[in-house]
Copies of this chain bind each other. A is one copy, B any other.
């Protein structure tokens, strides 16, 4: 049912998850608008106005969230110029941002399975048409659930 807590972690009353990466990640990107901006970035959106309208928030909101994400290092702002147009900026995912794909797809997968009465609106497949899913796996690629996992103190 639950994970196994190893070594000094076993006595659950003796420690608190103060440097927890899950909490830090939620502080950084745990916000509906931020996550939907990431969805749009993975769908290929790069321009400010497109982000705002496709996510369905005001430009004020999109600007505030994008600014935070640039500051954090998830997006980078890059100048570009279309012929006959002035210089503009586009928002491109950094490596840090691209590493968010498992989070975004895991949310989608869970929502598809448990929150959609009429089934998933979209399907994600690979380039051969094979369905894609997010899994918790070890080196051998075995699919694991909580009771297969052990948590240890690092170093």
Instruction: Tell me the nearest residue of chain B to A31, going by C-beta.
Output: B30
| B136 in contact with A131 (CB, 8 Å) | no
Interface residues of A in 97-117 (CB under 8 A from B): 98-116
Is the C-beta of A16 less than 8 angstroms from some C-beta in chain B? yes
Is chain A's interface secondary structure helix, strand, loop, or mixed overall?
mixed
Is the C-beta of A121 less than 8 angstroms from some C-beta in chain B? yes
Per-position binary interface string of chain A over residues 1-44, scored 1 when its CB falls under 8 Å from any chain B CB and 0 otherwise = 11111000100100011011111111110111001100101111
Interface residues of A in 61-76 (CB under 8 A from B): 73
Give the B-binding residues of A (Cβ under 8 A): 1-5, 9, 12, 16-17, 19-28, 30-32, 35-36, 39, 41-45, 50, 54, 56, 73, 92-93, 96, 98-116, 119-142, 144-146, 148-155
Task: List 30 contacting pairs A-B, 8 Å CB cutoff, sorted by A.
Answer: A1-B93, A2-B44, A17-B39, A21-B110, A21-B112, A21-B120, A21-B122, A23-B32, A23-B36, A24-B116, A25-B107, A30-B32, A96-B114, A99-B110, A102-B106, A102-B134, A102-B135, A103-B106, A103-B110, A121-B153, A122-B154, A123-B151, A123-B154, A124-B149, A125-B152, A126-B150, A130-B140, A132-B138, A134-B134, A137-B137
